[in-house]
Amino acid sequence: GAGVSQSPSNKVTEKGKDVELRCDPISGHTALYWYRQSLGQGLEFLIYFQGNSAPDKSGLPSDRFSAERTGGSVSTLTIQRTQQEDSAVYLCASSLQRNGNQPQHFGDGTRLSIL
Amino acid sequence: AQKVTQAQTEISVVEKEDVTLDCVYETRDTTYYLFWYKQPPSGELVFLIRRNSFDEQNEISGRYSWNFQKSTSSFNFTITASQVVDSAVYFCALSAHSGNTPLVFGKGTRLSVIA
């Protein structure tokens, strides 16, 4: 499809394990964002990539969280030594690079459950 | 710091009623963008509108209309003649004006339209 693709749709894992979440943005979109949606916290920004610039990591909640974007396209969000409070829906979005802040288009998210 | 407040946590209306979702924002920026997104039960976030802070004209799109008042820092969203398919969580969001920057979201308003 032409939209933002995220995988897996659902992930259940045990506390302490590492997880990797994948995002494939819309073709041609140079900006890519990760957000987290959890009960009581709403939608929180985690990290964003803009072209070849250094990513803005200011939203990452701890050093257990990291993300990379290879070749300016696909991005992987990695959570190490998962904790129960990491349970949430992780949303990826992408947007075009133009003047002004372009609308972000979201994927369906990955629902992460930490047992 | 930027902040978006959606004071209405949940609203329930009967089909065909009009409903207004409130959004109040805080920012020190003189220029910025405002957005509304819809999140239906299926989970994906759907972009509805982007408003440039320079433009205070109200906008209408079918049954949807938006009232931007810079003087009160509000960007309210009205659905006219609501339908069951309008049932969703609606998020208001704020971003900087230049470049592609992360969105600051409100907590969302859950709208239930009852047949």
User: Per-residue pLDDT tens for B46-68?
Assistant: 999 999 898 888 888 899 999 99
Please report, as a single letter, which amino acid is at residue B4.
V
B98 to chain A: closest CA residue: A100
Find chain B residues with C-beta within 8 A of A88's C-beta.
none
> pLDDT value at position A71?
80
Inspect the interface and report whether the beta carbons of A104 and B43 lie closer than 8 Å. Answer: no
Three-class DSSP labels, B42-100? CCCCEEEEEEECCCCCCEEECCEEEEEEHHHCEEEEEECCCCHHHCEEEEEEEEECCCC
Instruction: Look at residue A86 and give its three-state secondary structure.
Output: helix
With 60 as the cut, is the pLDDT of residue A1 above it?
Answer: no
Paired strand residues for A105:
A94
Instruction: Report the C-alpha gap between B53 and B47 in whole angstroms.
Output: 18
Find chain A residues with C-beta within 8 A of B108's C-beta.
42-43
User: Per-residue pLDDT tens for A14-44?
Assistant: 999 999 999 999 998 989 999 999 987 789 9
Paired strand residues for A6:
A23
Q: Is A25 on the interface with B (CB under 8 A)?
A: no
User: Per-residue pLDDT tens for B3-34?
Assistant: 999 999 999 999 999 999 999 999 998 889 99
- What is the sign of the dihedral through the CA atoms of B71, A99, B95 and A6? positive
Shortest Cα–Cα distance, A112 to chain B (Å): 14
